[in-house]
Amino acid sequence: MNYYSTSDLRHKATLEQAVIKGLAPDGGLYMPQKIPVLPAAFLRNMSAMTLQELAYAVASFALNGDVPASVLHDIVFDAFYFDIPLVKTANGNNVLELFHGPTMAFKDVGTRFMARLLNYYRTRHPEWRTLNVLVPTSGDTGSAVANSFWRMPGVNVYVLYPRGAVNKIQKAQFASLGSNVTAVEVNGSFDDCKSLVEDAFMDADLNEAMRLTSAMSINYARIVPQMVYYFWAYAQLVRQQADVSNLVFAVPCSNLGNLASGLMAQAMGLPVKRFISVENQNNIFYNYVKTGVFTPKPTQYSIAPALDAGCPNNFGRIVDLLGSHEGICRQIHAYSYDDNQIIETIQQTYHDEDYLLDPHTAVAYRAMLQDLRPGETGVALATAHPAKLKTLMERIINETVDLPPQLSRFVSADLHVTKMNNGFTAFKRLLLDNAERC
């Protein structure tokens, strides 16, 4: 199957090209020429499947034979080794916990699949020698990407993060790994880290000397596995004999990759009545829904840091899928909450429903309660474990929050950090020196 660019419908790429490049040369996002629709019998049979079986079936349909069946089977079974439970709060509200992977954020789902698919392409290109993954991060992305590629032979990962701006546990989640993961502390902001990576992709010497790839959320290989859990939620509801005839998903949004994945699942035939997009005060998409005008803005820091994006980079996919502003408004109800509302929701839900929401999940949960109509079944997507922001959570609920084992092992871990001044010359030198040593 071919993939086109959302900026130039005539541009064509194979799945391999789309996944390795990430972004089309004209800056557009890759979309499949045809979205396969699942047979109705599949929906009926889903509830008898395990998560891995379901993930394999959905990925096979979505990729339509582009990856050999046995290869795809191994990639999917290895990527989806952790559970994605649909839990109920004391009041019976549904929360889909996407955070039981190795770094306890939903990004594990997308990055584990992407890493394994990229590795498959690497093994088919011995001339590349090593594949170099460059990733700027303010926390969640860096740890999920680093963990997904950790100890993979023939792959080097460079995680660039702003000095002083990443919380301690999140930093340890990538900076303690060592092996093929280099943590680069940049004396600058997150935007500086992003620019360094963008400059690297444009630099002729670097591209001559080494094979570079990005692991950003625009990569189609992250979208495919994220469709899976929408189907999985439906299957769990059927298993619980819940009414799925008016299904509504509430999604905490930043770069809109998660929401785009849900819309893709719907396009593949999953019966979803509508989606609720929820942002914090970085409410670019909310403003677009209300006004029809898309205006990126400088990022504002919040207590839900993974939602702090001033220019949601999967926006093009949403427009491509739903066609127009009108189409988007029919399918999506948009909400936006500030820090005080997030805190209030966490406190209230903890006291009234005995469920501890992390700040990202809290926005989705609040919007779900606000937006649902009688007769509808809502599912709020829970994108991070509350203990990832332990200190903040303890301040909010005034109680101790225990660290699960996946996180506690990082508390006293030794960090290996390469410090660097903010400047492209220094970054280029670092990459070239490492390339020579390999």
Ligand X SMILES: *Cc1c(COP(=O)(O)O)cnc(C)c1O
Residues in touch with ligand X (CB under 6 A): 105-107, 140, 217, 252-258, 306-307, 360, 383-384
- For the bound state, the minimum distance from the C-beta of residue 128 to ligand X, rounded and expressed in Å, comes to 28
- For the bound state, the minimum distance from the C-beta of residue 101 to ligand X, rounded and expressed in Å, comes to 11
Number of Cβ within a 10 Å radius of residue 395? 11
| 54/218 with CB nearer ligand X | 218
- For the bound state, the minimum distance from the C-beta of residue 249 to ligand X, rounded and expressed in Å, comes to 13
| 28/121 with CB nearer ligand X | 28
| 93/314 with CB nearer ligand X | 314
| Cross-strand pairs, 12 | 4
| 244/306 with CB nearer ligand X | 306
- For the bound state, the minimum distance from the C-beta of residue 332 to ligand X, rounded and expressed in Å, comes to 13
Q: In what order do the strands lie in the sheet with 30-32?
A: 8-13, 3-5, 30-32
| 252/378 with CB nearer ligand X | 252
CA 357, distance to chain mean position in Å, is 18
- For the bound state, the minimum distance from the C-beta of residue 395 to ligand X, rounded and expressed in Å, comes to 19
What is the C-alpha to C-alpha distance for residues 271 and 261, in angstroms, rounded to an integer?
A: 14
- For the bound state, the minimum distance from the C-beta of residue 251 to ligand X, rounded and expressed in Å, comes to 7
Contact by Cβ (8 Å): 338, 282: no
- For the bound state, the minimum distance from the C-beta of residue 127 to ligand X, rounded and expressed in Å, comes to 33
| 122/360 with CB nearer ligand X | 360
| 210/272 with CB nearer ligand X | 272
